[in-house]
């Protein structure tokens, strides 16, 4: 009996160890947990490695840059690069442009998409499915197809180079990725009960009033999410902004240039800046050929810094967007 009991005892012990390490019944054991944390942390590190690299490089002085032994920790933190990048990019004036280009269209987009999503969620009308399919179509059809005709359209109306080229489509629910926002609103208004609307309707409130006094306050979380994403996407947009606003008519002094448009021509601006600062001597001495990555990285950080701040303050609203969108279906 004892001889036979031993293996089963061993088995039990092995199973207990396995349970502690791997876990069972949906509960994680210690080993599995450690494995998970290690994996997630290292993958997370790889994931934000470019941003970390960017941050560290932007703080390096020239000697540190050329010294291959300096990888992560610069000998001294130099904010010189930021100083230079600020000047090269004309940060102050272009920050205003960027804020305008991202703030105004996203405000209009938030509202126009709310109207459309509300219509899809709360009303029954003929052709609803057809129009919903059209919303999805606007998501799938890539921008280049519309690029030429809209460009000529804007040029016919003489609004090329002005911020109106961004605002008009946004106000009409055709801004950047509007389809996603309409879907978010639709799902949101479908999930919130319509009983308040019904009560107001019985009391004789107009649909307009119902929307503004009940629909809008109710939809505030969805609106915030939409606004944030819209803001970020307009901030990051370069195709449409450089096409509609970068190619302003010659002699037009009032052309809008966003930080990202400035970033894409950073090298040229940097050369011009060096020539301006150190005069023709630098031009002859070849100093302009020195590509200072640290300054470039500082410029890159500066363009995304406002977004990073917004993201870290309000990240809940970003990551909850998916749950709101109702993409998982019921």
Partner 1 sequence: MKKKRFGLVARREMKGYIFLLPWLIGFVCFFAVPLVQSFIYSLSNVKMTAAGRKMSYVGFDNFKYLFNEDTVFTGLLTDFYREAILRLAVILVFSLVIAMMLNHNIKGKGVYRTIFFLPIIVVSGPVLQRLMDEGATTVPLIESYGVSGIISELLPASLANPLNGLFTQLILVLWYSGVPILIYMAGLQKIDRSVYEAALIDGAGGWVAFWKITLPAIQPMILINGIYTLVFLATSGLNSVISEINSRMFNTSFGGGYGVASAMAWVYTLTLAVGLLVIYLVTKPRKATVVEVSKTREQIRVERLHAQRAAARKGGAA
Contacts with partner 1 in 165-184 (CB under 8 A)? 168-169, 171-174, 182
Cβ 260 to partner 1 shortest distance, Å: 5
The count of residues interacting with partner 1 (CB under 8 A) is: 99
Closest CA relative to residue 220, chosen from 196, 184, 194, 176:
184
Selected binder of partner 1 within 140, 202, 250, 281 (CB under 8 A): 140
328 in contact with partner 1 (CB under 8 A): yes
Q: Which residues between 201 and 260 bind partner 1 (CB under 8 A)? A: 207, 211, 232, 235-239, 243, 247, 260
Burial of 15: CB neighbours in 10 Å, binned 0-12, 13-18, 19+: exposed
Under the binding rule (CB under 8 A), the answer on residue 288 touching partner 1 is no
Q: Please give the C-alpha separations between residue 79 and each of 59, 72, 258, in angstroms, as whole numbers.
A: 6, 16, 23
Residues 17-36 that bind partner 1 (CB under 8 A): 24-26, 28, 33, 36
To partner 1, the closest distance from the beta carbon of 298 in angstroms equals: 11
Exactly one of 141, 272, 277, 290 binds partner 1 (CB under 8 A); that residue is 141
- Residue 276 CB, nearest distance to partner 1 (Å)? 22
* Footprint (CB under 8 A) of partner 1, residues 254-283: 260-261, 263-264, 266
In this structure, the dihedral spanned by the alpha carbons of residues 295, 300, 305 and 306, taken in order and rounded to 10 degrees, is 120
Note the Cα 260 to chain centre separation in Å. Answer: 13
As measured in angstroms, the least distance from the Cβ of 72 to partner 1 is 12
| 206 Cβ neighbours under 8 A, 6+ residues apart | none
């Amino acid at each position: 009996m004892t001889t036979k009991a031993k293996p089963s005892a061993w088995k039990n012990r092995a199973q207990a160890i396995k349970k502690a390490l791997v876990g069972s019944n949906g509960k994680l054991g210690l080993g599995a947990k450690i494995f998970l944390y290690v994996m997630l942390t290292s993958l997370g590190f790889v994931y934000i490695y470019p941003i970390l690299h960017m941050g560290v490089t932007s703080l390096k002085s020239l000697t540190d840059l050329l010294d291959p032994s300096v990888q992560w920790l610069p000998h001294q933190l130099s904010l010189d690069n930021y100083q230079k990048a600020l000047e090269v990019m004309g940060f102050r004036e272009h920050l205003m442009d960027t804020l305008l280009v991202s703030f105004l269209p996203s405000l209009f987009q938030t509202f126009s998409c709310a109207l459309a999503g509300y219509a899809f969620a709360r009303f029954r009308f003929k052709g609803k499915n057809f129009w919903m399919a059209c919303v999805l179509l606007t998501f799938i059809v890539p921008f280049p197809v519309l690029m030429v005709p809209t460009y000529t359209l804007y040029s016919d109306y003489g609004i090329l180079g002005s911020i109106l080229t961004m605002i008009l489509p946004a106000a009409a629910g055709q801004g950047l990725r509007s389809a996603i926002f309409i879907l978010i609103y639709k799902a949101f208004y479908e999930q919130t009960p319509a009983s308040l609307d019904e009560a107001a309707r019985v009391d004789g409130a107009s649909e307009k009033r119902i929307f503004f006094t009940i629909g809008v306050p109710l939809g505030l979380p969805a609106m915030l999410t939409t606004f944030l994403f819209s803001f970020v996407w307009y901030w990051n947009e370069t195709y449409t902004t450089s096409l509609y606003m970068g190619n302003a008519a010659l002699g037009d002094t009032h052309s809008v240039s966003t930080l990202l448009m400035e970033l894409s021509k950073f090298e040229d601006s940097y050369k011009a800046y060096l020539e301006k600062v150190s005069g023709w001597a630098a031009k002859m001495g070849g100093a302009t050929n020195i590509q200072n990555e640290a300054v470039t990285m500082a410029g890159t950080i500066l363009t995304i810094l406002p977004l990073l701040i917004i993201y870290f303050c309000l990240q809940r609203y970003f990551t909850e967007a998916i749950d709101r969108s109702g993409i998982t279906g019921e």
